[in-house]
Amino acid sequence: MEINIYELMRYCPYCGSKIMSFEVESDLEALDDEQSDEESVADDVDEDEDTPPKVDKVAFRMAYGAIPNTSKLRLSTGKIVEDVLFKFAKDMDYEHHAHSYIVDFDDENVKALFTDEEWKELTEDRIGVPSVPSDIVKEMARYGKKTVEELRITVMTTYLKDKERYDICKHFNQEWVQMTMRTLCNLYENVDSPLIRSQYEDWYTIALFGTCIDFCMRDIQLGTDIKRTDAPSVSSANRKNRGRQANTRKLIGRKIDGIIYSVDRKLEIGAIEAARSFLGVSDRKYLLEAFKMPKTLRDMYTDLMIAANYEQQKADKLQVVGIIHLGTWIQFVRLWRAGGSTVFVFSVKTLDLSMWIASSRKKQ
């Protein structure tokens, strides 16, 4: 299965226009700094609505027609994935992930378009999840206690050796784990049970995930940081302003609850969406966040591809991550390129802290 990646991502999956080179298109940092209230206008109205936006069927057909055959993903059976997705989505009135050539592992309707062997080939996880560093494993093992009293003693005990001084380059991971466990211990010990009471969305962002997630993402060794609370996405803005004329106003990117990015180049590598509660996978809020997340990640992935100058070896190692936290319920998402113009998004196992906390209290 041979893919011409140099043609692949040069065509925008949303409008079919050619993507300019990284230098010509824009400097990501400049775009971020440029966005002021005077120059930028609000998000597209449809993106803030409570339902998926309506599809511009003409634009979708034009975008499909602009994709060269050499840049399509041909499975070993001869089936072309982009052609299958186009046929599946071309008559839909409202937007589906297939309109962006995104294949969702959990979408049974899309899965039904392929045989079992084809689906296995299409969804092969070529990248995987990196192994957990040994220092994190060792530090987490310290907190495997049976009682809160034992856990409290451990979180108050330093991970540093006798007379050892803290080194941010050496001990950052241990510091993050201990800070996280101390935060959880404090919340767990609270007699008002804040973790299992109804809270505002920002409470979870600040009181819980500010330590568990945000602290972790401010890693000086990785060179990453995080923006929070309705942060406009530079990657989304780049896609919206592709082909923008000098006499037109610049559109800002989709506002996201959290953006993980590299500090040196301002490249976005992950997104976070949040809400105050989780009422099930059929809940309206969850469905909306789960719909937006892959599209947001696709924009980020596209910018990474441009920054990598479409090099195949680099492209095969690229993936972006998403986190959806609704109350104490968390879901992690990874997105990578399956091949051709198709990107595959995979939703991994979920975790509900409140259920774990409730069951733990009953055992005491």
Instruction: Indicate if 218 and 180 belong to the same structural domain.
Output: no
Average pLDDT value for residue range 245-262: 91
Instruction: Indicate if 147 and 118 belong to the same structural domain.
Output: no
Instruction: Indicate if 228 and 254 belong to the same structural domain.
Output: yes
Whether residue 14 has pLDDT greater than 90: no
71 neighbors 4 (Cβ within 8 angstroms): yes
Instruction: Indicate if 142 and 283 belong to the same structural domain.
Output: no
The reply to whether 293 falls in a domain is yes
Strand 224-232 with 255-262, pairing = antiparallel
297 neighbors 333 (Cβ within 8 angstroms): yes
The reply to whether 45 falls in a domain is yes
Residue 66 burial by Cβ neighbours in a 10 Å radius (0-12, 13-18, 19+): middle
Instruction: Indicate if 217 and 181 belong to the same structural domain.
Output: no
The reply to whether 359 falls in a domain is no
259 neighbors 279 (Cβ within 8 angstroms): no
pLDDT digits (tens, 9 = 90+) for 161-217: 999 999 999 999 999 999 999 999 999 999 898 988 889 999 999 999 999 999 999
Whether residue 120 has pLDDT greater than 60: yes
Which amino acid is present at 54?
K
Q: In this structure, how many other beta carbons lie within 10 angstroms of the beta carbon of residue 273? A: 22
pLDDT digits (tens, 9 = 90+) for 304-360: 999 999 888 888 899 999 999 999 999 999 999 998 888 888 887 788 876 666 555
> 143 or 14: which carries more pLDDT confidence?
143
Q: In what order do the strands lie in the sheet containing 320-326?
A: 102-104, 342-352, 329-339, 320-326, 268-275, 255-262, 224-232
Strand 250-251 with 40-41, pairing = parallel
Phi, psi at residue 128, to the nearest 5°? 75, -175
Task: Quote the CA–CA distance of 171 and 159 in Å, as a whole number.
Answer: 9
In this prediction the pTM is 0.82
Instruction: Indicate if 116 and 138 belong to the same structural domain.
Output: no
The reply to whether 362 falls in a domain is no
The reply to whether 202 falls in a domain is no
Write out the H or E segment, with its range, that includes residue 236: helix 234-240
Tokens of 192: 């008002």
Whether residue 226 has pLDDT greater than 60: yes
Domain membership of residue 260 as a residue range: 5-124+210-353
Whether residue 362 has pLDDT greater than 60: no
Whether residue 7 has pLDDT greater than 80: no
Q: Could you tell me what percent of the chain has a pLDDT over 90?
A: 59
Instruction: Indicate if 19 and 166 belong to the same structural domain.
Output: no
Number of structural domains in the chain: 2
Strand 329-339 with 342-352, pairing = antiparallel
Task: Quote the CA–CA distance of 161 and 170 in Å, as a whole number.
Answer: 13
Phi, psi at residue 326, to the nearest 5°? -115, 105
What residues does 232 pair with on adjacent strands?
A: 255
Instruction: Indicate if 52 and 32 belong to the same structural domain.
Output: yes
The reply to whether 317 falls in a domain is yes
Q: What is the mean pLDDT of the chain?
A: 84
Instruction: Indicate if 309 and 232 belong to the same structural domain.
Output: yes
Q: Residue 342's pLDDT is what?
A: 87
